[in-house]
Structure 1
Amino acid sequence: MRRHRILAVGLAALLLGALSGAGQAEATPVATQAAPQAGALAAPGGGAPYIYPVLGGKDPVTVMHQTGVKAFTLAFILASNGCNPVWDQAGALSNSAVKNRIAAIRGAGGDVVISFGGYSGNKLGNACSSASALAGAYQKVIDAYQLKTIDIDLEAGEVSQAAKVLGALKITKQKNPNIQIVMTLGTGVNGLEGAEAKIPGQAVSLGATVHVWTIMPFDFGGQSGSDMGKLSLQASEGLHRQLKAAYKTKSDAEIYAMQGISSMNGKTDEGETVTVANFRTMLGYANSHHLARYTFWELNRDGKLDYTKVIAQFTG
């Protein structure tokens, strides 16, 4: 997610201390559009809080029992040694701790979405030389964990590689007809801005399926004391208008069912405060408009699990 580097460093330190002590529906094309069925993701995968897979903190299975949440978005897949997918902070895809954690979540009746990208680090979209090479990297992760859903958190320097990323997603969907694809983007208070605003239209032009377009309505221009619930809904309505312009044959209901919100609990990096009440405001909107995804960054920031308990009520 956006500007998460301080948290990443803190969790990395926590992990090092522990070690020293122990020794994220098939699309139906319409002309050149890749248009998914309404409600492609929704709950439980749509309400999947972000978490680093092994960096200390909360145990996902315990969180499942305490809150009712059924899925988690594991962050993030980056690049190493060229176009080779690895975990941020956790290394190789073969990491047994990651595999064991995923197995435990699934054994408890849940599932995982795996997220590629994020705010910092060496992104696959930059490291891979072509759409086909990038699709190959995505495929390695899909195969390693038998995924049903992937999340492309397209931020910072990788936004300029949007055409390559979308080309890779088109290949990925062709090879994995049942995979669901989430695209997560930064936003302004009135919807996507700048280069991000062009990406839905690019997806349509390229015939690349994106089932769910998710915005991150934080670090986005709200001020200290702003009503972040109200501003988040305002941003989502802006996204709605932009998707309507890109997917011209879709109804309002179908467009809402392609939308998602990924918030940030508590204090943001830019001094905004997202409260539990703000989360409830977003929940009401997400459920009444039948959005496909409602989640947040990040589970280990949620000390009493109050935010996670709100997300657990998301039904899509």
Structure 2
Amino acid sequence: MSTRFPGRRLSFVRLSLLSAVVAAVAIGGLSGFNRWEDARVAESTGAFFAGYVDVTATPSYAFEDPAVKTGGSVVLSFIVAAKTDPCEPSWGTYYGLDEAEAALDLDRRVARMAQNGGEVIVSFGGLLNDELATSCTDPEDLADAYADVIDRYELSTVDLDIEGENLRDTAAGKRRAEAMATLQAERADSDTPLNVWLTLPVAPTGMTAEGTAAVAQFLEAGVDLAGVNVMTMDYGASRPEGTDMLTASQNAADATHRQLQVLYQRAGIEIGPQAAWRKIGLTPMIGQNDVKGEVFTLDDAKAFNTFATERGAGRMSLWSLNRDGTCSENYADTTVVSDACSGIDQQGLLFAPLLGEGFDGRAATLSDEPVVEETPEALVEDDPKTSPYPIWSDVGTYREDDRVVWQGNVYVAKYWTQGDLPNDPVLQAEETPWTLLGPVLPNERPVPAVTAPAGLYPVWDAKAVYERGDRILVDGKVFEAKWWSQSDSPEAAVQGSDASPWQKLDDAAVLKIVEQESEEG
């Protein structure tokens, strides 16, 4: 997600005048937010909703107003490196922290939200500018820059939105992870331990290789990730033709869940399926996405909320609260993304309550609620007598489009393979030669095999010598010799073994032979 349409900002002259007026307030900021803590409502636990707010966009979004339905939590975005100092945090490069207080009254607005029982999260990064770790190469200065933001706004949760060039910079990723590990360790025994969310791009097949590498860096550095939030938006060419936005987003979430379990397993950390879902956040871009033709509707929002709550996702967000409304009549082309409206007719409804339904917890307390893992289901024992396709064999070889059954599911081969478990956990879909089609259905039965009539070819004889091209029959199946052989059973060819001197003819070839024999007879 990004601030692609920044709108109008305050000029330097206007900013200077305003700074002079509020200088007394700006010095040191309003760091004493704790004086309002007594007025906070009792904190709840459980999955939470927090919509993103583009802090620097115009018109300004009043996230702090109790009348604005934010769901109780917001993610203010984006803190990036200042243009003049690689280690100085700024809001979108437009305002330093003191400047944001002077121009946007930001500290006071954050304090007001805390006063009203709300929760503020700050997001670092985004697409358009340098995330602090990208430009600030000194580890201590980098940790101090993050700490300046965390301490100023008294944050218990931060969000690292890493995409584009920031995500491709692996050296920056290492610095980022180590800085967060340091800050977490420093605050571990305090009243406000630091929760860290990593926000990453995603395809319907899951996180990209750069994304999974970023997660691995954080786990290797010892960061206790609150979770991984995936941006279910802007799929472009990764979205298969005919797949709608809802289905693509659901597939992306399921794939991320699988990947996250693999990443934790490789890091030597035990995590169950339900705990993994608790560490997943989902962030659709409401209405018109940046990619033309990609529109996330109100109906999609309802269905996505149902999906997420059924799975047990720990977080739901949206990009962005600034955009949660119908565009005015003066906005001519709604296929062009606006930062102030969704681009669709919302019929008086808002996306935030639709997506946030049931996500009533708080980011700061999400990890406090115990996760009860369900007892794993016993592995399905595949029965060749009822299986619609052959049971996968570790000695078999399979070619493109071959189907097998394994532990109650049907898989199809993407290319030639031997010895590759169909359900072997992998990070990226391209790492496995198998595609999961779905479970074996209760009423499925073996696909009827085409059999050749008796006498079409001789029955295989272990004592006979066969030359290349000779054909035999075994239980109505036709085999053709690939080279000279004697006493080599065709059974290995049934499993697809290339070492067998026999090749089993497929159903289409057998049907053609039978038809030709019938016409000639």
TM over 0.5: yes
Aligned residues of 1:67 and 1:305 also touching (Cα < 8 A): no
Counterparts in 2 of 1:184 and 1:99: CA distance versus 1, 3 Å: same
| 1:128 partnered with 2:136 | yes
Which secondary structure state, in structure 1, belongs to the residue aligned with residue 182 of structure 2?
A: helix
**In 2, distance between residues paired with 1:90 and 1:103?**
21
Equivalent position to 1:306, from 335, 350, 374: 350
**In 1, distance between residues paired with 2:140 and 2:250?**
36
Where in structure 2 are there 5+ consecutive unaligned residues? 19-43, 326-347, 362-521
More displaced stretch, 295-304 vs 193-202:
193-202
The answer for the alignment partner of 2:186 in structure 1 is 175
| 1:149 partnered with 2:157 | yes
- For 1:227-277, what per-residue CA distance to the aligned partner results, in whole angstroms no more than 9, with x for missing partners? 212111100111111111111221101100111101101111112101111
Aligned residues of 1:69 and 1:311 also touching (Cα < 8 A): no
Aligned residues of 2:230 and 2:282 also touching (Cα < 8 A): yes
**In 2, distance between residues paired with 1:125 and 1:305?**
39
The amino acid of 1:51's aligned partner reads V
| 1:280 partnered with 2:302 | yes
Equivalent position to 1:219, from 229, 234, 239: 234
The amino acid of 1:302's aligned partner reads D
Counterparts in 2 of 1:69 and 1:305: CA distance versus 1, 3 Å: farther
Aligned residues of 1:53 and 1:101 also touching (Cα < 8 A): no
Counterparts in 2 of 1:279 and 1:89: CA distance versus 1, 3 Å: farther
Aligned residues: 289
Mapping 1:84-163, distance limit 5 Å: 84-88=88-92, 90-94=94-98, 95-96=100-101, 97-159=105-167, 160=169, 161-163=172-174
**In 2, distance between residues paired with 1:179 and 1:171?**
10
Which secondary structure state, in structure 1, belongs to the residue aligned with residue 206 of structure 2?
A: coil
Question: In the TM superposition, what is the alpha-carbon distance from 1:200 to its structure 2 partner?
Answer: 2.2
Question: In the TM superposition, what is the alpha-carbon distance from 1:292 to its structure 2 partner?
Answer: 1.6
Equivalent position to 2:272, from 251, 260, 280: 251
More displaced stretch, 89-98 vs 136-145:
89-98
Counterparts in 2 of 1:263 and 1:208: CA distance versus 1, 3 Å: same
The amino acid of 1:153's aligned partner reads D
Where in structure 1 are there 5+ consecutive unaligned residues? 24-39
Larger Rg: 2
Which secondary structure state, in structure 1, belongs to the residue aligned with residue 312 of structure 2?
A: coil
Aligned residues of 1:128 and 1:134 also touching (Cα < 8 A): yes
- For 1:52-107, what per-residue CA distance to the aligned partner results, in whole angstroms no more than 9, with x for missing partners? 23542432244x43536101110110112121111116512123211121122122
**In 2, distance between residues paired with 1:305 and 1:106?**
26
| 1:264 partnered with 2:285 | yes
| 1:294 partnered with 2:316 | yes
Aligned residues of 2:56 and 2:92 also touching (Cα < 8 A): no
**In 2, distance between residues paired with 1:42 and 1:264?**
23
The answer for the alignment partner of 1:60 in structure 2 is 63
Aligned residues of 1:68 and 1:312 also touching (Cα < 8 A): no
Which secondary structure state, in structure 1, belongs to the residue aligned with residue 306 of structure 2?
A: helix
Which secondary structure state, in structure 2, belongs to the residue aligned with residue 181 of structure 1?
A: strand
Aligned residues of 1:185 and 1:215 also touching (Cα < 8 A): yes
Counterparts in 2 of 1:137 and 1:278: CA distance versus 1, 3 Å: same
The amino acid of 1:280's aligned partner reads K
**In 2, distance between residues paired with 1:281 and 1:197?**
27
Question: In the TM superposition, what is the alpha-carbon distance from 1:133 to its structure 2 partner?
Answer: 2.7
Question: In the TM superposition, what is the alpha-carbon distance from 1:208 to its structure 2 partner?
Answer: 2.1
**In 1, distance between residues paired with 2:233 and 2:56?**
25
Which secondary structure state, in structure 1, belongs to the residue aligned with residue 183 of structure 2?
A: helix
Question: In the TM superposition, what is the alpha-carbon distance from 1:314 to its structure 2 partner?
Answer: 3.8
Aligned residues of 1:47 and 1:294 also touching (Cα < 8 A): yes
Percent of counterpart pairs with the same letter? 25
Counterparts in 2 of 1:267 and 1:222: CA distance versus 1, 3 Å: farther
- What's the RMSD between the two structures over aligned residues? 2.5
Question: In the TM superposition, what is the alpha-carbon distance from 1:222 to its structure 2 partner?
Answer: 3.5
